[in-house]
Structure 1
């Protein structure tokens, strides 16, 4: 297990797991306890930390990256340097590399490639404006986020342009993407990044690299001496303007290349606005190789066929032959001697190969059964000394422990020649993951996150009160954050029900004045409910009963209803006797012929409701009441008269 896993750096960064390994450093996933966020921590490898030059380069990277702040560049949060450990704290990216994306998608559409290269160029423009050259632009160092945005990462060999150190003895960057001046060990400036970005664009729109070879050296020589096939020869659907941009970025002559990332970005933006645009330059302007001042170098025919444009082969071959003639007769003798030696070596090699093949063919071996055995045991066993054991891509296995062989090719029992390679796939053991930090996460989102991890966890939920975690959010998990998990692990997610409810014992309020009761309710965090007035011999305002019985426990905030005395009831004998008075009122009828429907109300009570003949002129209506009341007269439903009647 890694020594740093579980450590707390500077009492702040808890190292959780390894997420990547490079030539100089190891990158870990970590948690910043001060800001409670996940970060990436890049730690210089311990064996390299002993080398002052490596420490200097690592520290230069820290200074370089810390100067950058751009949405398309991985952010750096912190830098630490001590006698025992050096590390950088960076933004943790949730995504995949552009290389992985291209491997999954294959050839990208030119629109998608344009979307990516614009963001890459913006990042380079920002870095160059701060005096920083990346020197290792390649799809492996470009991260694609879930939203499609791009972040340039890994300034592992970046250096300040003010630095005068040139690492000519090291292979800087990846050979398929390095500029010709990098391959020659010449002066490197911002235009080297533009060349590498052009190679990345070339690969995106053609689904192939401009130069390939049998060795890194042959590829590097092609960057110097060869010209790639134009993108439209490989994919005619590529717009001419985008092809021109690509070839200008990849111009071997730095003077013909874009002078800056901003200049390249300007052309990309013009092309984005108008894909039919025609620039004042063409791919042919960048097809000739510059005069490097160095002798012509010979590369393998296979590499030459892959790299050189067919239209230029004849002229380059003639140039090569002319160069040989100009070297003069003084060198012809040396060439002839060298040729004789080469012929003898070839003849001897062929004889040795045929001789060895003849005797090897007569000695076939049976492939042994390696599946189920530990790789270290297989390699140390003398029984397998006649074979070459090659380790293929390891795989996770829920049934097989780490280090045990899962499969082999060729299979056991087959007859093969001596020293045949047997490729074995070794188990990495069960796939594991760290328990994520789900505390204070909405519980449904937490369950979705666990499901998306793809481990078929058995997840159950329980509830618990919490004064600090909002209701419906995760209070805790079992196992806890950071625990190593395997497939089908049992996980319990505890969900908050909100603050714990406090219970109150209800006292007896009967017989107390309602004012006193209200004060006691407030002190107990209880609420006053409905007050119902009741005639009682008790003093006005005295509590007669309560809806919750005394000594009952109820939650704080519970409302209690009360019956309240309004004093004693008045006895019938004490009430004055009022005798109704009867009066007769004359109601005038409307003029005209026919009948009319007459309704008379006395204080909203109907006392007369008849249909009468209008010829009567008027009708008497008898009314009975006390005090003063209002009379209303309606003819056919329409109010016709209203008057106040006093009964005396």
Structure 2
């Protein structure tokens, strides 16, 4: 029933029909090529960042659709994220665009209209190592956030090509219950956006995790052109604000956690080119200004 409700989305596995006899119930589903788990194992070391983000975004869209129609999946994991459309040449060198499909609806539950949670059955439901901590708390509510937690684990698994944010299989459950995740396989600077998003998805407090729809619109999944346009618009917006403005103070107060001097992080030719135009201060305002100015100067040079 849940599958019939949900299969109108391109990132949810398609249901065709069902039949039953005296002994068995048969369900005809869309044929997929392999699971995310199989895919990561098979192509580890060959996947670029854009491919991984595409897989993550499609999985998020599928979960967001389920939540939109009031369904909690409760068993999100790499083996339940299937893939179709995978085509390779004889040397396994060429990939078509893969379509991600959320599958296995055996543990799904519908949320009643007007409610945000479902009643808990006796015992924890799901797959050990991928279940949110509240599923082990007899007094906690089961909300859409349990899928978000599991999806955060899947994100880390995808980006690191097989690693788990809560460690090896022996210590995984105790780390989940104590809230100890380890994201050390992602570079804290190069993967800062991924790290902050995944950390928010793995929060022990279910109410503090983002929704699936919010994750789907996160800057991690923006095209580079959209990211650049956003930074330019922020630069224009803060240009006339005073340093003591509350917005500016919030923007600047954590800058030392990201960089000590942003100019020192630039390649020398770029730094020298920027400083030919004007002087820049070591603050976020001037970093955004430099990004905006460089974009404008680049466009101007193209049309000269």
TM-score range, shorter chain: 0.5 to 0.7
| Alpha-carbon shift at residue 142 of structure 1 (Å) | 1.0
| Alpha-carbon shift at residue 212 of structure 1 (Å) | 3.1
3-state SS in 1 of match to 2:26: strand
- 1:250 matched to 2:202: yes
- 1:72 matched to 2:24: no
Corresponding residue number in structure 1 for 2:145: 191
Deviations 1:311-356 (A, max 9, x none): xxxxxxxxxxxxxxxxxxxxxxxxxxxxxxxxxxxxxxxxxxxxxx
Corresponding residue number in structure 2 for 1:98: 36
Deviations 1:421-468 (A, max 9, x none): xxxxxxxxxxxxxxxxxxxxxxxxxxxxxxxxxxxxxxxxxxxxxxxx
CA contact (8 A) 1:110 1:238 kept: no
Equivalences for residues 214-233 of structure 1 within 5 A: 215=170, 218-231=171-184
Corresponding residue number in structure 2 for 1:545: none
Aligned CA distance change for structure 1 residues 272 and 189 (closer, same or farther; 3 Å): farther
Corresponding residue number in structure 1 for 2:266: none
Q: Which has the larger radius of gyration?
A: 1
TM-score scaled to structure 1, two decimals?
0.31
CA contact (8 A) 1:245 1:268 kept: no
Corresponding residue number in structure 2 for 1:56: none
| Alpha-carbon shift at residue 275 of structure 1 (Å) | 5.7
Equivalences for residues 142-541 of structure 1 within 5 A: 142-145=81-84, 146=86, 147=96, 148-162=98-112, 164-169=118-123, 171-185=124-138, 186-207=140-161, 208-213=163-168, 215=170, 218-231=171-184, 234-236=186-188, 238-258=190-210, 260-268=211-219, 271-273=222-224, 274=226
Deviations 1:504-527 (A, max 9, x none): xxxxxxxxxxxxxxxxxxxxxxxx
Q: Distance in 1 between matches of 2:108 and 2:144?
A: 11
CA contact (8 A) 2:145 2:207 kept: no
Aligned CA distance change for structure 1 residues 181 and 109 (closer, same or farther; 3 Å): farther
Match of 2:60 among 105, 116, 121: 121
Aligned CA distance change for structure 1 residues 272 and 241 (closer, same or farther; 3 Å): farther
Aligned CA distance change for structure 1 residues 164 and 204 (closer, same or farther; 3 Å): closer
Unaligned runs of 5+ in 1: 1-62, 285-648
Deviations 1:151-202 (A, max 9, x none): 1111121111239552332x52222211111233532111111111111111
| Alpha-carbon shift at residue 135 of structure 1 (Å) | 0.7
| Alpha-carbon shift at residue 226 of structure 1 (Å) | 3.0
Unaligned runs of 5+ in 2: 87-95, 235-249, 255-304
3-state SS in 2 of match to 1:220: helix
Q: Distance in 2 between matches of 1:84 and 1:219?
A: 38
CA contact (8 A) 1:177 1:199 kept: yes
Alignment RMSD: 2.9
CA contact (8 A) 2:11 2:58 kept: yes
CA contact (8 A) 1:241 1:275 kept: no
Q: Distance in 1 between matches of 2:15 and 2:54?
A: 25
Deviations 1:484-531 (A, max 9, x none): xxxxxxxxxxxxxxxxxxxxxxxxxxxxxxxxxxxxxxxxxxxxxxxx
Q: Distance in 2 between matches of 1:238 and 1:173?
A: 33
Q: If each structure's helix is expressed as a fraction of its own residues, which one has the higher value?
A: 2
Q: Distance in 2 between matches of 1:228 and 1:211?
A: 5
Higher relative contact order (CA 8 A, sep 6+): 2
3-state SS in 2 of match to 1:144: strand
Q: Distance in 2 between matches of 1:175 and 1:275?
A: 37
Aligned CA distance change for structure 1 residues 238 and 135 (closer, same or farther; 3 Å): farther
How many pairs were matched up?
214
TM-score scaled to structure 2, two decimals?
0.62
